[in-house]
Amino acid sequence: MQTRKVAVVTGSNKGIGYAIVKGLCENFFGDVYLTARDVSRGQRAVENLKHIGFLPLFHQLDIVSETSVKDLKDYIEKEHGGIDLLINNASVGTSGSAEDIIQINYFGTLRVCNALFPLLRDNAKVINISSSAGRLQRIPSTELRAKFKDPKLNVASLNELMKTYLNDVKENKAVEKGWGDSPYVVSKVGINALTILHQHVFDLEKPYRNISITSVHPGYVKTDMNKKGTLTTEEGAKAALYLALQAEFKGKYVWFDCQVIDWDGVLPESK
């Protein structure tokens, strides 16, 4: 008997995540989980989608909480046994402390990956919602950029690099050390680096399982975090849905127009 497919979208009660859930409900043949930190907001989002004819499922998820992440993992494992699609959308914008931004955007996403990766089925896909801020060139220091793209880098050493950044921030030396002045940039550079490293792990440890992971810049989208955006949330969901439902670009960095971009390169003028 064929197992029903399962998709999980983190941070999806509004914005791009909500648009991704809606798109999956339209075209993904399986169960789609809308998750949110706040239960009432998440359930309201599910009801809104049901009102227009879709049937997403809901589970609470706070990606900075070990307990919350474990609860989701245990529930999915018990109810479904595995996951076919994981979209890591939950994050915060540029406001807030460096500690909060890194802990949510980078370490929170990593926490979800660590918990749910053991549930990934053969041919599963993981999509990390990143940003144009995640281009490696946004880190001013050539020395630091070299560390992010070091062939010997692994997840553990990337974690230490991100902790080094937080320590430099606490000592008011982040700009002096070449990190720049944006914690958001560092968090998204970290996500893009993590995407590459996780693909290496999948390819080396279990190549026969054909698991792919990709990072995506959704575009300049108007959301609660970005009031000045020019794209709708539906337009911002386009590339993630393209990867989820059609294409496969293992370990790559994909732009909102669905084209692969060089993470370490200079953007073409058309971008």
| Residue that the structure tokens 């390169």 belong to | 265
Mean pLDDT in residue range 222-230: 67
What pLDDT digit, counting tens, does each position of 75-96 carry?
999 999 999 999 999 999 888 8
- Number of separate domains in the chain: 1
The CATH number assigned to the domain holding 107 equals 3.40.50.720
What integer best gives the mean pLDDT of the chain?
94
Band of pLDDT at residue 205, cut at 50, 70 and 90:
confident
Q: Which pairing describes strands 83-88 and 260-261: parallel, antiparallel, or unpaired?
A: unpaired
Band of pLDDT at residue 169, cut at 50, 70 and 90:
very high
Mean pLDDT in residue range 239-263: 95
Query: Per residue, what are the HEC states of 170-197?
Result: HCCCCCCCCCCCCHHHHHHHHHHHHHHH
Task: Answer yes or no: is pLDDT of 1 > 50.
Answer: no
Q: Are 96 and 180 in contact (CB under 8 A)?
A: no
Mean pLDDT in residue range 218-226: 75
Residue 128 lies in a domain: yes
Six-digit token string for 198: 């996780």
Question: In this prediction, what percent of the chain has a pLDDT beyond 90?
Answer: 87
What pLDDT digit, counting tens, does each position of 113-128 carry?
999 999 999 999 999 9
Range of the domain at 47: 5-132+185-261
Among the residue ranges 90-99, 141-150, 187-196, 226-235, the one predicted with the least confidence is 226-235
What pLDDT digit, counting tens, does each position of 2-25 carry?
579 999 999 999 999 999 999 999
Residue 147 lies in a domain: no
Band of pLDDT at residue 227, cut at 50, 70 and 90:
low
Residue 154 lies in a domain: no
Residue 78 lies in a domain: yes
Residue 32 lies in a domain: yes
| Identity of the residue numbered 162 | M
Active-site annotation holder among 184, 208, 220, 253 = 184
Residue 64 lies in a domain: yes
Residue 266 lies in a domain: no
What pLDDT digit, counting tens, does each position of 23-42 carry?
999 999 999 999 999 999 99
Active site residue 208: no
Residue 146 lies in a domain: no
| Sheet of strand 83-88: strand arrangement | 57-60, 30-36, 5-9, 83-88, 120-129, 212-216, 253-254, 260-261
